[in-house]
Chains A and B, each alone.
Chain A
């Protein structure tokens, strides 16, 4: 069972650069053909500093660390039993190529269903840019099959 004492647990912040080539690759991989996501001049014409990160790219920024699941394994979660239950994004300002984003997460809830057969871990993330501006928030709900 997931220890409820983990509620309130705050991750170490990590900082990641938003790379232009990576954004182009991401756009290609998701079938995005709008040129603002791959062509710098089209992005600037649309009012962006550089290529914008598509709406779900923030999730990938969290994976850009040496051990993206280290926080989960420290809580005793086995990755083979893990499912992605829900994902939510709240947007405050664009994230663009060249930005440096600092992510930090907090465990806001742990609960179970079906007599503990399924446990739910809810984490809230803040994403701040190089100016300290809160640009996005994420909520990730993971399901552990016991």
Chain B
């Protein structure tokens, strides 16, 4: 990973984005086991239907983990000071999630170079699933 130059970054710059492969049932089963979120609404279609859903749907924290990769792809993880999201809509089977981010602020505080980002996770139709924000120290 090459070193980022704080002075070369400009408010409004987009950081490198990526798009996940389509979410399938295996994706959700693996994340249930790996994350420790065993809520059956994400992995058991019988349970989901009884709860009034058409099908299982993705764990919110799966989307947040995907969106976090836009940060760890860009900077070493130790540069991340703060990362948060608001969950806006359910992510469904078949969705391909595009994770992107843009610089919204730069400041020098207490001898540190602070960069603030806005982050977005949206599906193939442009439906926004998560809106996030992060603070990076360079």
Whether the Cβ atoms of A30 and B76 lie closer than 8 Å is no
Interface residues of B in 5-35 (CB under 8 A from A): 20-21, 27, 30-31, 33-35
**Interchain CA distance A59-B84 in the complex, whole Å:** 12
Whether the Cβ atoms of B35 and A60 lie closer than 8 Å is yes
**Cβ proximity bits B46-86 to A, threshold 8 Å, 1 near / 0 not:** 00000100000000111011101101110011101111111
Tell whether A89 pairs with B31 under 8 Å between CB atoms, given A31-B66, A55-B72, A63-B37.
no
Nearest B residue to A22, CB-CB:
B34
Whether the Cβ atoms of A55 and B36 lie closer than 8 Å is no
Residues of A within 8 A of B81 (CB): 90-91
**Interchain CA distance A83-B61 in the complex, whole Å:** 12
Whether the Cβ atoms of A68 and B36 lie closer than 8 Å is yes
Select A29's contact among B30, B80, B82, beta carbons within 8 Å: B30
Residues of B within 8 A of A90 (CB): 81-82
Whether the Cβ atoms of A28 and B34 lie closer than 8 Å is yes
**Cβ proximity bits A58-99 to B, threshold 8 Å, 1 near / 0 not:** 011001100010000000000110011111111100100000
Tell whether A80 pairs with B51 under 8 Å between CB atoms, given A55-B83, A87-B61.
yes
**Interchain CA distance A63-B20 in the complex, whole Å:** 25
How many chain B residues touch A (CB < 8 A): the figure is 34
Residues of B within 8 A of A29 (CB): 27, 30-31, 33-35, 62, 65
What bracket does the count of chain A residues touching chain B fall in?
20 to 34
**Cβ proximity bits A4-42 to B, threshold 8 Å, 1 near / 0 not:** 000000000000000000100110111110100000000
Whether the Cβ atoms of A26 and B69 lie closer than 8 Å is no
Whether the Cβ atoms of B34 and A94 lie closer than 8 Å is no
Whether the Cβ atoms of B87 and A46 lie closer than 8 Å is no
Nearest A residue to B86, CB-CB:
A86
Residues of B within 8 A of A86 (CB): 84-87
Min CB distance, B15 to chain A, in Å? 15
4 cross-chain pairs, A with B, having the tightest CB-CB distances, nearest first: A88-B84, A63-B36, A29-B34, A30-B65
8 contacts between A and B (CB under 8 A): A26-B35, A30-B34, A30-B68, A55-B65, A56-B65, A60-B34, A87-B64, A88-B85
Known: A55-B71, A80-B51; 4 extra A-B contacts, CB below 8 A, are: A25-B33, A29-B33, A34-B72, A46-B76
Q: Which residues of B contact A (CB under 8 A)?
A: 20-21, 27, 30-31, 33-37, 39, 51, 60-62, 64-66, 68-69, 71-73, 76-78, 80-87
Q: Which residues of A contact B (CB under 8 A)?
A: 22, 25-26, 28-32, 34, 46-47, 52, 54-56, 59-60, 63-64, 68, 79-80, 83-91, 94, 139
